[in-house]
Amino acid sequence: MANVGIVIVSHSPKIAVGAADMVRQMVGDSVPLACTGGDAGGGLGTSVESILQAIDAAWSDAGVAILVDLGGAETNSEMAVEMLDPDRRGRVVVCNAPIVEGAVIAATEASGGSPLETVQRVAEELSPQ
């Protein structure tokens, strides 16, 4: 079974790429990874269309965990998940976790072959309860 994929969604393209670089340094190519940042006009923001493309790029049959920064990134990611084909929808989760630390720890967990629920749980353990 393939490893869980990781998608990073930030308002800032630089943060998205930077967080993805940190993930790559940790786990190399063992985890499908994609990132997206910035709105359709090239400014700070997030785009449902780009998030859908990122999910596609990081797709794994084991599922995909999405890490987001601020509110709009979460809302747009949830919207994107709902717009997926029904057979994929149930295998994508938006993690309630800090974007950089969450992405790194989720990817590390995923690289060990853990299932999606475990990947999500270890990322979310980083959030204040």
Partner 1 sequence: MTPEFLHRLILAVADTVIAHEAELTALDQAIGDGDHGLNMKRGFEAVRVEAEAMAAKPLPDALRAIGMLLVMKVGGASGPLYGTLLMTLGKEIAPDGSNAPLAMGTAVAVVMARGKSQLGQKTMLDVLVPVQQALAAGGADLASRLPTIAADAAIATVPLQATKGRASFLGERSIGHMDPGARSAALMVSAACRVWEG
Instruction: Provide the binding-site residues for partner 1, judged by CB under 8 A.
Output: 11, 39-41, 43-49, 70-72, 75-76, 78-79, 83
Residue 96 φ/ψ, nearest 5 degrees = -90, 80
Query: 8 is written with which tokens?
Result: 């990073």
> In sequence order, which residues have a C-beta less than 8 Å from that of residue 126 and are 6 or more positions away?
97, 98, 101, 102, 105
Place of tokens 């353990």: 125
* Nearer to partner 1 among residue 97 and residue 104 (C-beta): 97
* Nearer to partner 1 among residue 49 and residue 117 (C-beta): 49
* Nearer to partner 1 among residue 26 and residue 70 (C-beta): 70
Min CB(50)–partner 1 separation in Å: 10
